[in-house]
Amino acid sequence: MKLSDYAKQQGVRYETAWRWFRDGKIQGRRVGAHTILIDEPARSASPVQAATVVYTRVSSAENKANLDSQAERLVAYCAARGYQVSKVVKEIGSGVNDNRPKFLALLADPNVGRIVIEHKDRGTRFGFRYIETLLTAYGREIEVVNQAENETEDLLTDLTSIIYSFCARLYGQRRAKRKTERIVQELEAQDAPG
């Protein structure tokens, strides 16, 4: 396959794929002056081949630029581990709630054998072990690239997440209340005889 097609399949920019080729991280050959063909590993003939999917997430649209850099780091990690990435999924949504349709679709898809994420909180802020245990029970896995160094760090991260979650909900409720009051005032102003 052409290097440009390989880059699209892996969810990275062409320049990144070219660097991988140049550095020997992916195998391929030059054909002519401007064409590079990537030698894909032979795919198994088994009817159901468990796919490796990279999942990236940011909490808000303000951090959207981070999605691409997360994807590039994770695809490079997978290439170094010898994983063939079948898809890169990028999502914007809070890790506190479960309103992330792309992540839920990955969890529900039995053809996805491995989900690779950068940190636990990219998957979920709470209940990560439940997800991990359920996937393992079905012969699947979720692989976290950057694990916490120790239990104290993990506990502090959880505490911070809980405080962040409650603050976000509190401020969201206040904003919703102000917005509702503003709408009521505008409607009353429109209905007032003038």
Q: For residues 65-79, give the mean pLDDT.
A: 92
Q: For residues 77-85, give the mean pLDDT.
A: 92
Considering only 10-14, 113-117, 137-141, 157-161, which range has the smallest mean pLDDT? 157-161
Q: Which residue in 111, 10, 15, 69 sits closest to 1, CA to CA?
A: 10
Neighbouring C-beta atoms of residue 102, cutoff 10 Å: 14
Q: For residues 34-38, give the mean pLDDT.
A: 87
Residue 153: partners with Cβ closer than 8 Å, 6 or more residues away: none
pTM across the whole model: 0.57
In the set 4, 59, 94, 165, the catalytic residue is 59
- Is position 59 annotated as part of the catalytic site? yes
Banded model confidence at residue 154, pLDDT cuts 50, 70, 90: low
